[in-house]
Every structure is written in structure tokens, then in C-alpha cells.
Structure 1
């Protein structure tokens, strides 16, 4: 386990660190609940750098990225001051910039970052005219959930500025070890949760369940809840109640009944 994150493939951790060491923007691609944000946090910790986060949405605008002007009092006089946003702050101080669900933002919002993400590593702040050169430690991570409601395909000019890595749900020994390290429970209950998680992933691959139903985040939630209640109820709260499709819901209930 690396800084609280377990990787599926042995070389992946060092490969991703190498990408960031070379100051290449890194794009993490994978389903919801696969641990992309946790991985970003772990990578930031490994470089001993703070992480400035941006959660993208259709309402994201330039001010949310770069900052805004405000009026402050200095020696009894009102003056206009610029408050740095997460991008400007990360560039100036050498932090890691993490852009979560980058494909949720409106396509016209993000081109302002093109010069930040390529070899120039600079930004001309449209609100102040200041030209900002990135600190040598400045690094960029972004994450996307492909094909989810509310997302749009990334602009090719933007995507081309990233090196991409696919982050899938953990399987096999890596999943079993993650479950065992997450909560202190007897082996029988851990085996039940491992078998259910594995079966959910199998049904996703066969196209019978939506990808998010096999979320590792939800499985961990269920496991932690099961330390305080029967495992059936824990699974109901953490997984079943979030499924809208009746056929998918029935299938998951059948899988739970088979293993519990």
C-alpha cells in the first residue's frame, strides 16, 4: 500500500510518479469509486506537496479556476485586491493541482488552462494581466469518469496535453487485501464481501449491471457498516438502495442472497 492507496499492478505507482516527476499533466481515467481521488491524494503525499482541488461542474467558470477581485480595507481606504484561485495558487507555490471530473466542465471553460498544461507552464491572468510562471514543483492531475450522465467528451486539444492512465476497480489479491486492511472483521465476513464484490464486477463485465454498482467505495462502505449491523442491511444501505433500475436491483439482491 502506497500512502493509503493500493495499486492493482506493481509498476503503476512508480510509473505515475515518473510522469509527475517529469512535470507531465496526468489524466486518471476510470469508473466512479475506483479510487482516482484517493490515488491523487497519495501521489501528492508521496511528493510531500499540498493539493489544490477543483470539482468541475457545468457552473465552473474562470473565477472558480483563477480567482476573483474583491474590495478590502487597508489603512481605512477601500482597495481592490485579487484573491488567488486554486490554479493560480498552485502555480505560484508549487502545489499539485487536482481537477476532478474534468469532463463535467463546459468545453469553453477549460482552454484557459492550455498554456498551463503544455511546455509553457505559464498563465496570463485575464483579471489582472499578470503573467504567472509555474513554480518548479507545480504538477497537474485530473480525473474523468467516462460515459456518465452530465459528462462531455474532452476537447482533443485539452486531452492531448495529458498523459493518461486507466484506473480500474481492484480485483483479486489486491482487493482482498484492501478489504482486510479497511476494517477489523472476522475472515468469514471479509470472504462474503470479497465474493460479492467479485461477482458484481463479473456482472458489470457481462453487461448486466451498470459500472458504478461495482464501486469499490460502495463495497468499502458496506464492509465498514457491517461491523455495526448485519451484513445484509449494510449492503442494502451502501449498494442496493442506490440502484434505480428494477432489474439491476433484483440481480444484486440475488447475488447477495447467494453469498450471505
Structure 2
């Protein structure tokens, strides 16, 4: 028989990946009003979807908000093989007994943590369905294997990220799922702000950071020529970190910026030309 369980019952034998709020503020530069909107969503117990391209700062934003709100953070990377049991938990055999092991989602619900599911569109639809009861007024999680229903502790918030570039006929979120989230749109920052981020994150000289961002904008224009993924701010930071530690500008761009983007010889050649024009 189902029963309503709170954080004091069904305590698992060990934790489910909870991370305490970082003691130091994760660096994040707001682009618009996303910080205040997220705070209001948290206050009003609303689930949030962060929508934007890979490497534009969605994960860092969640880390920053966990610090700002002083909530534990659970991050789950979604993939095709992620099952409901991976999220909720399972029974394990320990020596001479069977114990229940909370999954990361259940651990977050019990602890009142922010639970962040990265790239939710990669998860199977039958896995995503288990989130529905946590995104409305119920704020509960059903554990079918134990017959319990866990009430979310105060402070719990569900956050997912979604890359519209991954949309496919058979790989997209159902409207019934999308409409359960307040959606915040993310994109790559304006050039001056992106250069500041690259400078702050890597320690590279401001002029070099601006040059890398200028190159990135030229490379992003190649998306119409077959570039599946444009260079992200994350790639620019990685490139800048190599440069800061003595790797030449061209070589750093080749291994950290161009090579991860494409294996097509013609496309790589065109991108290499842009690097040589930017850093003669």
C-alpha cells in the first residue's frame, strides 16, 4: 500500500550524489534577467528548463544559482540508457541482506536540493515521465518498487537543460513535458561579455580573449556550410587555457577549437584559413 514518505523515512544506506553548495561563488555573468527569474521560480516551486546551444553557460548558471540560493546540487547527465531506476533507486544485495539504494533524483527530493538533468532530450521518454509529478502542485516522487510516495523537501527544485539543435523527429520532448517548465532561453553572450568570460575563466590577456571571440564569430558563420556544432564559449575557454600555459595561438586553436568541431577535411581547411587570418 502506498504511503506518503518525507525526508525522515526510507533513509538509504548511502547518499545519492548530493553536492553541497560551493563555498566560493562560481563565476557567472548574467546576460539578461535570468538570475531574478530563476529566484522567483525557486520561491514559487516552479520547475525550470534552460534552453540553448551546447557550451553557452547553462551548467555554470545552475551552479551559480545553487550557490546563490545555498541549496545542495545534484547533476545528472542524461543519455539513451538512463532508466527510471537509475534516477529513483534500486534494491541492492549487501552481505546477508537487501537494502534500498536511493538514486540521485530521490536523494535530491529528500534533501531539498536542486536537481539538474543535463540534456533532458537525450533521456528516454519512459524515463522522463517519472518527473511529471515533481513538476506540478503534488511535488511528489513515486517509488513503485517500495510502494512509497516521497514528498519533496522544502527547497527542492527540478531544472533541466535542452539543446534545440538536437531536435529530431524521434528525439524531442513531448508537449506535455515541455509545458511543465518555465523556460529560460540561453545563447552565446555578446562579444564583449564573451571576451570577458574567456579572460576571467582562463587568465588570458584581454586582447587575446577578444581575438578568440572574434574568431569564434567567424567560425559560427560556417554553420550554413555544414558545421554541425558551432564553437562554444566552453571551447574558447579551453583554447585560452592552453595559450595561457605557453601553447602557441595557432596550435591551441587547432587542437582545442577546430579539431573538436569537424573531421571534414574541406571544412577544417576553411576554418584553418580563418585562424591564420586572425593570428597571422
TM-score by structure 1 length? 0.90
User: Which residue in the other structure is 1:179 paired with?
Assistant: 198
Rounded to whole Å, the distance in 1 between the matches of 2:103 and 2:186 is: 28
Structure 1: segments with no counterpart, 5+ residues: none
Q: How many Å apart are 1:175 and its aligned residue?
A: 0.9
How far the C-alpha of 1:184 sits from its partner, in A, is: 2.9
Asked whether 1:221 is paired with 2:228, we answer no
In the alignment, the residues of structure 1 paired with residue 205 and residue 93 of structure 2 have an alpha-carbon distance, to the nearest angstrom, of 59
The Cα offsets for residues 157-180 of structure 1, whole Å up to 9 and x where unpaired, read as 111111111111112221121122
- In 2, Cα distance between the equivalents of 1:3 and 1:139? 19
1:195 corresponds to which of 214, 237, 242: 214
Q: Match for residue 265 of structure 2? A: 246
What is the number of residues matched between the two proteins?
252
1:108-128 per-position Cα deviation (integer Å, ceiling 9, x unaligned): 221122111111101221110
Q: CA RMSD in A?
A: 1.9
Structure 2: distance between partners of 1:51 and 1:232: 38
Specify the alignment match of 2:40 in structure 1: 18
Structure 2 CA distance for partners of 1:202 and 1:6, relative to 1, 3 Å: farther
State the partner residue of 1:67: 89
* In structure 2, distance between residues paired with 1:245 and 1:166: 31
Task: Tell me which moved more, 90-99 or 207-216.
Answer: 207-216
TM-score, normalisation: structure 2: 0.84
- Distance in 1 of aligned mates of 2:202 and 2:57: 17
Which of 98, 121, 134 pairs up with 1:116? 134
- 3-state SS of 1:164 partner: strand
Is contact 1:33–1:212 with CA below 8 Å preserved after alignment?
no
5+ residue gaps in structure 2?
A: 1-24
Q: Secondary structure at the match of 2:42?
A: helix
